[in-house]
Structure 1
Amino acid sequence: MFATSLGEDGAELRPLEPWRAEEFLAHIERGREFIGRYVALPDFVTDLDSSRAYLRSYAEKAMNDTGRIYGIWTDGKLVGGVLFRTMDLQQGTAEAGCWLEPSAAGKGLVTRAARAIIDWAFEERGLHRVEWQVSAANEPSIAVARRLGMTKDGVLRSSYLYRGRRHDMEVWSVLAPEWSAAR
């Protein structure tokens, strides 16, 4: 079983695979409103079939080297995750993202998990750029981008229609040379 320690508190990062669909759905149910404030994940994962389909789509992305999804576990319980929503190995780019249920917020879990997958992207896969796209209203996620040492590239004004409302999206990024210099 693949698991990466996220620190002394026992938190772990593991691949989030289709066979975990029931556990994933239960996790989404616990955090549905909190997660759904800025992230559409709860709109896609509404029952066991959609949970399984969502995880299968990422299994397919992993197989095709176009994305990855990982869960964050604390005390044996799935509490959040990080992912590469997109990966383009030819261009050397990826877009990272995250979500967390409320019980796990404020503990640095997303920052530590994102650091682990960004390390992997640069060191193992040879990517050049990792992006973080976030609603301008999502202050906790923007704080993660800052803690990761990312640079704010700009704002895509009114670019994301979500639940009937337009959101400005901030684009943050870190380049491989910057990442290695900061390590």
Structure 2
Amino acid sequence: MFATSLGDGGELGPLEPWQAEEYLAHIDRGREFIGQHIGLADAARDIGAARAFLQSYADKQAADSGRIFGIRFDGTLVGGVLFPHFDAATGCCEVGCWLEPAAVGRGLITRAAGLLIDWAVDERGMHRVEWHASPQNTASVNVAKRLGMTLEGVLRQNYPHRGTRHDAEVWAVLAPEWKAHRER
């Protein structure tokens, strides 16, 4: 219910606090892989933390400042996409993602992120959609490229992760660019 097909056995749907056990089991399956470049895996060490993380996104959705969605493959939660930042007043938002190893290489993230960008641009009137990625995260950088985004710059030593400061590439697509990209 309330799921959108991503094709080839993939579905995109809401990810809510009541699904914390499923979310934690998913994170546990892919913890090291997911945690290579982002702190998402470290934020859900137990059921309480997993529920609190999902609740924070339920609160963001209620405040119209973020959203989170799960990606399921053949009915199993394998990853997700989210709006960590969503500012309707300025027309700017950020899309992010994560995926466990078993689901890599199926195009799920690109298709799911594309649906989020469609919604942000077409339904909510967003003008600018950003994608932040570690320069070492080749898979994430390649998704940004497939989404027709432009590399705008590097935020040097922008975020701490597992005891080290890391750079973040900022990729973005503007609404007219997205519409043109979709038509191709």
TM-score (norm 2): 0.97
- Tell me the CA shift for residue 73 of structure 1: 0.3
Cα distance between partner residues in 1 of 2:48 and 2:159: 27
CA RMSD of aligned residues (A): 0.7
Cα distance between partner residues in 1 of 2:37 and 2:137: 7
Cα distance between partner residues in 2 of 1:162 and 1:175: 29
1:58 counterpart residue number: 57
User: AA paired with 1:81?
Assistant: G
Cα distance between partner residues in 2 of 1:168 and 1:104: 26
User: AA paired with 1:2?
Assistant: F
Cα distance between partner residues in 2 of 1:114 and 1:182: 14
- Tell me the CA shift for residue 43 of structure 1: 0.9
Structure 2's unaligned 5+ residue stretches are: none
Cα distance between partner residues in 1 of 2:131 and 2:181: 18
**Identity score, percent:** 63
- Tell me the CA shift for residue 10 of structure 1: 1.9
2:165 counterpart residue number: 166
**Runs ≥4 residues deviating over 3 A:** none
Taking the TM superposition and a 5 Å limit, the aligned residue runs for 1:38-77 are 38-77=37-76
1:119 counterpart residue number: 118
Cα distance between partner residues in 2 of 1:48 and 1:74: 22
2:6 counterpart residue number: 6
Cα distance between partner residues in 2 of 1:159 and 1:68: 23
TM-score (norm 1): 0.98
1:175 aligns with 2:174: yes
1:23 aligns with 2:16: no
Cα distance between partner residues in 1 of 2:21 and 2:29: 13
Taking the TM superposition and a 5 Å limit, the aligned residue runs for 1:62-141 are 62-141=61-140
Cα distance between partner residues in 2 of 1:164 and 1:83: 25
SS of 1:91's partner is: coil
- Tell me the CA shift for residue 167 of structure 1: 1.3
Cα distance between partner residues in 1 of 2:50 and 2:38: 15
Cα distance between partner residues in 2 of 1:35 and 1:129: 26
